[in-house]
Structure 1
Amino acid sequence: MNKQKHTSGPWFISNELEGMVMIFGGQREKYICRVQIHQTPRAFGMQEEDERFANARLISAAPDLLEACKFAYNEGCAGRALKNYKLLMDKLKDAITKAEANDENN
């Protein structure tokens, strides 16, 4: 596996401000990116807010998803996948839950 070049997790979503959210991560809570939630002008019916929040959640879960995938891969390669099955499933479930969390849980 390659050496990590991205900002370490966990990443989190800021409160919405002026129609967008920002994603921060790492020990020093570095800025990762911003996601525009409200399209301007909203009067044109371009209201995809739910989808945009879901995209922000998925982005913020990226380090957790990567860690879970690496863990699953390494355990499988080492022949320990069955031995550590519960831990493996818990890591995968936690990462998926974060990616699909409700807006209130951000």
Structure 2
Amino acid sequence: MSEEMHTTGPWFKHREGFSTVYVEARIGGGLIQEVAACGPTNQGSEQQEANARLIATAPELLEACKLGLKGLEAAAFDPLSQQRNAHAYAAGVLRSAITKATGQPA
């Protein structure tokens, strides 16, 4: 895979006022970059916070997908594995998620 194009993590969230939870990343020199803003939802502040938590975890989730894909690809080609089809299917799901997240084939 090529170099990451997204702002590197860690990302963090914080609420500003009543209506918005921001997801931000600290970049060079201590500057803060806004990654996303989660506005009010019909389900209230708990859902808003959950959305921000999920977005803030995106860099770690992407890395976990990449690591999992490597392991599943190895297992899918193991001739002794009883679960080769399941491993191949799971690898395909991860590959699709990585492609969607990065815009590049995994």
Summarize the Cα distance change of 1:51–1:15 in structure 2 as closer, same or farther, 3 Å threshold. Answer: closer
In the TM superposition, what is the alpha-carbon distance from 1:17 to its structure 2 partner?
Answer: 2.3
Segments of 4+ in structure 1 off by > 4 A? Answer: none
1:20 partner letter: T
Q: Percent identity?
A: 35
Which runs of 5 or more structure 2 residues have no equivalent in the other structure? 76-106
* Aligned with residue 70 of structure 1, among 55, 63, 66: 66
Largest Rg, 1 or 2: 2
Q: Quote the residue 1:13 is aligned against.
A: 13
RMSD of equivalent CA atoms: 2.3
Select the structure that is richer in strand. 2
| Secondary structure of 2:15 counterpart | coil
Q: Quote the residue 2:85 is aligned against.
A: none
Which runs of 5 or more structure 1 residues have no equivalent in the other structure? 40-45, 80-106
Which structure has more relative contact order (CA 8 Å, sep 6+)? It is: 1
Deviations 1:17-72 (A, max 9, x none): 242121111444322111113x6xxxxxx452211111111000011100111111
How do 1:1-106 and structure 2 match up within 5 A? 1-28=1-28, 29-37=32-40, 46-78=42-74
Normalised by the length of structure 2, the TM-score is 0.55
Q: What is the number of equivalent residue pairs in this alignment?
A: 72
| Secondary structure of 1:14 counterpart | strand
Deviations 1:49-103 (A, max 9, x none): 2111111110000111001111111233356xxxxxxxxxxxxxxxxxxxxxxxx
| Secondary structure of 2:62 counterpart | helix
1:36 partner letter: G
Normalised by the length of structure 1, the TM-score is 0.55
